[in-house]
Amino acid sequence: MEKTFVMVKPDGVQRGLIGEIVARFEKKGYKMVGGKLLTVPRSLAEEHYAEHKERPFFGELVDFITSSPVFAMVWEGENIIKTARQMMGTTKPAEAASGTIRGDFGVTVGKNIIHGSDSATSAEREISLWFKEEEQSSYTKKV
Ligand code: CMP
């Protein structure tokens, strides 16, 4: 079954949106198979955002993501990589549709509440970067 990496960023945690975000994914029918609150080490933030290293906002991005805890998760479900991105809305919250997480709760691009893997390759890379095998619990839903 397809898996993706989702992270509630420091602004989302500070604003008390973990529960709202988890609820949206649960209600959609997806299954959380890994989840943890952590203050991100700078080295992990730099590796996670390595593709943006040359961007002018890279330093600001790493400063922000390490500034206070994030809630990192692995979610599982059919076609979840693409659907999670649709549920999140576009990167710029000002342009994100109402009904999406960023559209409903975000205002600025730097503080856009949530991150989700943008492809199967990214999902695989990000899950293994953030979660050890034993931190993921695959299980069958019985209800
Ligand atoms: P995310 O999906 O986590 O992936 C890269 C992040 O870079 C993106 O969300 C934004 O939060 C951030 N980002 C993109 N553009 C800018 C910008 N101009 N200034 C600050 N951060 C940005």
Instruction: Compute and round to an integer the Cα radius of gyration of the chain.
Output: 14
115: Cβ below 6 Å to ligand 1? Answer: yes
90: Cβ below 6 Å to ligand 1? Answer: no
Give the residue, by CA position, lying nearest to ligand 1 atom 11. 110
Tell me whether residue 115 is one of the annotated catalytic residues. yes
For residue 33, give both structure tokens.
């198979």
> Pick the catalytic residue: 3, 31, 48, 115?
115
Give the residue, by CA position, lying nearest to ligand 1 atom 4. 115
- For the chain, the average pLDDT equals 97
Report pLDDT for 44: 98
Q: pLDDT digits over 4-44, tens only?
A: 999 999 999 999 999 999 999 999 999 999 999 999 999 99
Instruction: Enumerate residues 6+ apart whose C-beta is below 8 A from 104.
Output: 98
Name beta bridge partners: 72.
7, 36
Domain 2-136 in CATH 1.20.120.790? The answer is no
Q: pLDDT digits over 53-109, tens only?
A: 999 999 999 999 999 999 999 999 999 999 999 999 999 999 999 999 999 999 999
In ligand 1, which atom is closest to the CA atom of 7? 3
- C-alpha angle 43/21/31, rounded to 5°? 90
With a cut of 90, say whether residue 141 has pLDDT above it. no
Contact by Cβ (8 Å): 67, 10: yes
Give the residue, by CA position, lying nearest to ligand 1 atom 1. 115
Report pLDDT for 99: 97
Report pLDDT for 138: 87
The whole-angstrom separation of Cα 140 and Cα 143 is 9
